[in-house]
Copies of this chain bind each other. A is one copy, B any other.
Amino acid sequence: MNVLIVYAHPEPQSFNGALKDLAVSELTILGHQIKVSDLYAMNFKAVADGGDFQQRQDERFLKYAVEQKHAVKTESFSRDIEEEQEKLVWADFVIFQFPIWWYSMPAILKGWFDRVYASGFIYTRENRYDSGGLKGRKAMLSVTTGTPKGAYMPNGMDGDIHEKILYHINHGMLYFSGMQPVEPFISWTPSHDEEERKMYLEAYKQRLHSLSEQPIISYHPKAHYDENHQLKKEYQ
């Protein structure tokens, strides 16, 4: 299948870099087609602004989502955005490789979502979540943490990794766009121990060999919600 790896770390020799390199080599061996968006190496523009459009619907007042819809219709996104959108359309599976910084993603990757995940391309008023623009695709987070697993358990000090921390990404970005997010691959505080890094690389290799069989995170489809966006009684 076609696999896009979106990778955000400033240091190529980092453990995040090693996980990205391993994914490229293993998935290539397995016969997949690979594209990598190495956001730091690309010097990817992180900040959404008026410069993201080759022409504007309204030059005097920037409503970013309105200009995104206009750019979809007129094919007038800046070239760097267009290239990322083309990769998403091409991909069957997208891996996001990044360190958890401040309980979310590095700004350069957030900027990728702000700019590439455009209104009219990813979603419309009617089509989002299971009917989002990227439906038919799967996605997986591969993240590293700076604090240990215990802190991210349901009663942990940092908050449940799935329900509290990664929810805004897995549900709010990936599932919102129509992709099916699979369970994340999490390397807990890998910077502290060489043996642990080896163990995680081996485990990640196994994960890469079974990408298609990974369980999908189960979220409700849009049809389970009523006209006030509330989960219908029968599904609660």
Which residues of A come within 8 Å of B, CB atoms? 10-11, 13-14, 40, 46-50, 61-65, 101-108, 110-111, 113-114, 117, 129, 146-148, 150-151, 153, 155-159, 163-165, 167-169, 171-173, 176, 191, 220, 222, 225, 228-231, 236
Whether B10 and A50, one on each chain, are in contact in the complex, defined by CB atoms closer than 8 angstroms, is yes
Name the distance in Å between A87's Cβ and chain B's nearest Cβ: 18
Given contacts A103-B169, A158-B229, could you give 11 more A-B pairs where the C-beta distance is less than 8 Å?
A10-B49, A10-B50, A11-B61, A13-B61, A102-B113, A107-B111, A148-B229, A156-B225, A156-B230, A159-B167, A159-B172
Alpha-carbon separation in the docked complex, A146 to B176 (Å): 14
Question: Once the chains bind, are B104 and A168 in contact (CB under 8 Å)?
Answer: yes
Q: Judging by beta carbons under 8 Å apart, are B63 and A150 in contact?
A: no
> Are A65 and B229 touching (Cβ within 8 A)?
no
Query: How many copies make up the complex?
Result: 2
Instruction: Please report the C-alpha to C-alpha distance between residue A225 and residue B158 in the assembled complex, in whole angstroms.
Output: 11
Find out whether the CB atom of B155 lies under 8 angstroms from the CB atom of A231: yes
Give the distance to chain B from A4, nearest Cβ to Cβ, in Å: 18
User: Are A63 and B229 CB-contacts (below 8 A) given A110-B104, A164-B167, A172-B158?
Assistant: no
Q: Find out whether the CB atom of A46 lies under 8 angstroms from the CB atom of B229.
A: no
B103 near A168: Cβ-Cβ < 8 Å? yes
Task: Tell me the complex Cα distance, A168–B168, Å.
Answer: 9
CB neighbours (8 Å) of A165 from chain B are: 167-168, 172
Residues of B within 8 A of A62 (CB): 10-11, 14
> Are A107 and B104 touching (Cβ within 8 A)?
no
The distance from the CB of A40 to the nearest CB of chain B, in whole angstroms, is 7
In the assembled complex, the Cα of A51 lies from the Cα of B105 at a distance in Å of: 20
Output the nearest chain B residue to A228 by Cβ-Cβ distance.
B150
Min CB–CB distance A88 → chain B (angstroms): 15
Find chain B residues with CB under 8 A from A48 CB.
10, 101, 106-107
Q: Please measure, in the bound complex, the distance between the C-alpha atom of A64 and the C-alpha atom of B40, giving whole angstroms.
A: 14
Shortest A29–chain B CB gap in Å is 28
Known contacts A157-B222, A165-B172, A231-B155; A146 and B49 CB within 8 A of each other: no
